[in-house]
Amino acid sequence: MQINVQAELAAAQVHLERAIKGMLQQREIKHVPGLGRAKHTVQETLTQIQREEAGHVSHFKIV
C-alpha cells in the first residue's frame, strides 16, 4: 500500500487542531502542551518535505 505522507501529515494536523480546540472549549485552560508540541512537529515536518520538494537540502536522516 502506497502512503501519501504529506496527506497523512495534513490530516494529522487537522485532527490535532480539532482536539486542541475541543479541549480548550471543554476546560478552562489556556493551552494544551502535549498536543501543541505534536501539532508543531507535524507542521515542521510538512514544511521540511515541501522545502525538499522545492530542491532544498534534506535535513532528514535515513536510518
DSSP class of residue 58 equals P
Share the mean pLDDT of the chain. Answer: 84
Asked whether residue 63 carries a pLDDT value surpassing 60, the answer given is no
C-alpha cell at 54: 522545492
What's the chain's length in residues?
63
User: What is the pTM assigned to this prediction?
Assistant: 0.67
pLDDT reported for residue 4: 87
If you average pLDDT over residues 13-35, what whole number do you get? 86
Which stretches of the chain are DSSP H helices?
A: 5-26, 33-53
Asked whether residue 8 carries a pLDDT value surpassing 70, the answer given is yes
If you average pLDDT over residues 16-28, what whole number do you get? 87
